[in-house]
Amino acid sequence: MTILSFTIIIFLGSLLAGFLGSLTGLGGGFIIIPMLTLLLGVDFRYAIGASLVAVIATSSGAAAAYVKEGITNMRLGMFLEIATTIGAVAGAFLAVFVPTNIIAIIFGCILIFSAVMSLQKKVAQLQPVAASPLSEKLHLNSSYPSSNGIIPYHVSNVVGGFAMMLVAGILSGLLGVGSGALKVLAMDNIMKIPFKVSTTTSNFMIGVTAAASAGIYLQRGYVDPGLCMPVTLGVLGGAVLGSYALTKVQTKQLRRVFAFVIIAIALEMLYNGITNRI
Amino acid sequence: MNKLKQDKDIGAAMGTLLRMGVIISSVVVCIGGVIYLFRHGHETPSFHVFHGDTSLFRTFPDIITGVATGKGRAIIQLGILLLIATPVARIIFSVIGFLMEKDRLYTGITLLVLAIIITSLLTGAKI
């Protein structure tokens, strides 16, 4: 195989990954890394570097559309970014010492967790009666526009959410993914934020979190230009196509099928990690 | 209400900034990619072996020297640097936004996030 044909294969695969990632809301990284490592035999470290760069591209691209709508809670995102960026730097630091087969095992577990999360029905959170004093102090309570007018909301359990974001940051830095599922979990289930706000705010944070570890990976030689080029352009193109298709297709069924595909990939990843083949 | 409008203006400007960042870096990556494939497309890929510390274009001066001599891979790396810089620019933008709103608490928080990212960019090779 030549570099040219290899590049074309990776580009097409990344296009599909970006498309599915955007349609299902799981993000491209979860498909890119297994595709590169399991199917094409790319070293895990190069796959992490390429995925991280693609994550920044899709997050920035999608965020461009969101910030205009005024749903993103900028203060909340910025406050929690203290946790995710510190976590991301720690994760990238840990990556040097953790063997790739252990990273593959952690990756498999997070993959299963995210797939299960994506299957769960989103129910509107009950709003806490009173805001926590800390969220009052940090001006985290806000409101968002909806078809029924402006809806105010409170943020609860700030400390718990912050701690969860630290974990999300570490995993993002260690695995080269956006770990959007963990971020949404922290905001939906712990901080009780309406999911319209949590989804866009999580996306706002993903790019910044990934940028914190991408610089470290670049200088360590994990970011290979020959690999990043087709991955980034493919995922970005796929995400754009996905956002157009999103308005036209029913994603419920797709989400379900995709979750099972992800679980199958995760088991393959776990098997390879446990038997030390990766 | 005035504050809400100002928030929205900052939001719109930020959207434009992010979109431009992604478009410009994609174009740069594309240009580098075409040069790279033109020169090395017929070679055999070696992504299954990790080269790490021996790989080219890992630092800013190396990338700039490579770009100046028209190396495709260096141009791709420049595009990737621009992409990494896009969320960083957004943070800088937010600092200005919070300063304009005279929100000292959030100016401080945003500066802290910026400091964490810049520290990782500057010391990444050593830790």
Residue of A nearest to B32 (CA): A229
Q: What is the pLDDT of residues A111-153, one digit of tens each?
A: 998 888 878 766 665 666 566 888 888 888 888 887 778 888 8
pTM score = 0.90
Of the pLDDT bands very low, low, confident and very high (cuts 50, 70, 90), residue B33 is: very high
Number of domains chain A is built from: 1
Structural domain boundaries, residue A52:
3-274
- Contacts within 8 Å (CB) and 24+ apart, A243-248: A243/A22, A243/A62, A243/A65, A245/A19, A245/A23, A246/A22, A246/A23
Q: What is the band of B1 on the pLDDT scale with cuts at 50, 70, 90?
A: very low
Question: Does A147 lie at the interface with B, CB-CB under 8 angstroms?
Answer: no
Interface of A with B in 192-211 (CB under 8 A): 207-208, 210-211
Q: Does B15 touch chain A (CB under 8 A)?
A: yes
The per-residue DSSP string of A62-96 comes to HHHHHHHHT-S-HHHHHHHHHHHHHHHHHHHHHHT
Mean pLDDT of A38-55: 93
In this prediction the ipTM stands at 0.89
Q: Is A163 exposed, middle or buried (0-12, 13-18, 19+ CB in 10 A)?
A: middle
One DSSP character per residue, A111-125 reads: HHHHHHHHHS---PP
Asked if A225 and B37 come within 8 Å (Cβ–Cβ), the reply is: no
Exposed / middle / buried, residue A207 (Cβ in 10 Å: 0-12, 13-18, 19+): buried
Q: Tell me, what's the pLDDT at A209? A: 93
d(CA B84, CA A52): 10
Question: Which one-letter DSSP state was computed for residue A177?
Answer: S
Select the more confidently predicted residue: B53 or A257.
A257
- Dihedral of the CA atoms A198, B83, A31, A259 (nearest 10)? 10
Give the span between the Cα atoms of B12 and A68, in whole angstroms.
5
Q: What is the pLDDT of residue B3?
A: 57
Among B80, B110, A245, CA closest to B118: B110
Q: CB neighbours (10 Å) of residue A94?
A: 13
Please identify among residues 84-123 of chain B the ones whose CB lies closer than 8 Å to any CB of chain A: 84-88, 90-91, 94, 103, 105-106, 109-110, 112-113, 116-117, 119-121
Angle between helices A3-24 and A44-69 (to 10 degrees): 40
Residue A150 main-chain phi, psi, to 5 deg: -80, 125
Contact A118, A180 (CB under 8 A): no
| Model confidence at A84: pLDDT above 90 | yes
Instruction: Say whether pLDDT at A98 is over 60.
Output: yes
- Average per-residue pLDDT for chain A: 87
Of the partner residues A40, A56, A67, the one whose CB lies closest to the CB of residue B84: A56
Q: If you measure CA to CA, which chain B residue comes closest to A237?
A: B26
CB atoms within 10 A of CB A11: 20
Closest residue in B to A96 (Cα) is B127
Sign of CA dihedral A215, A216, A219, A223: negative
Q: Report pLDDT for A78.
A: 94
pLDDT of residue A5: 94
Residue B124 main-chain phi, psi, to 5 deg: -50, -35
Going by pLDDT thresholds of 50, 70 and 90, the confidence category of residue B48 is confident
Residues of B whose CB is below 8 A from A52: none
In percent, the amount of chain B with pLDDT more than 90 equals 59
pLDDT over 90, % of chain A: 46
Instruction: Write down the domain spans for chain B.
Output: 2-43+54-123
Work out the burial of residue B24: count CB atoms within 10 Å of its CB; fewer than 13 is exposed, 13-18 middle, 19 or more buried. Answer: middle
Q: What is the pLDDT of residue A61?
A: 81
* Residue scoring higher pLDDT (A51 or A245): A51
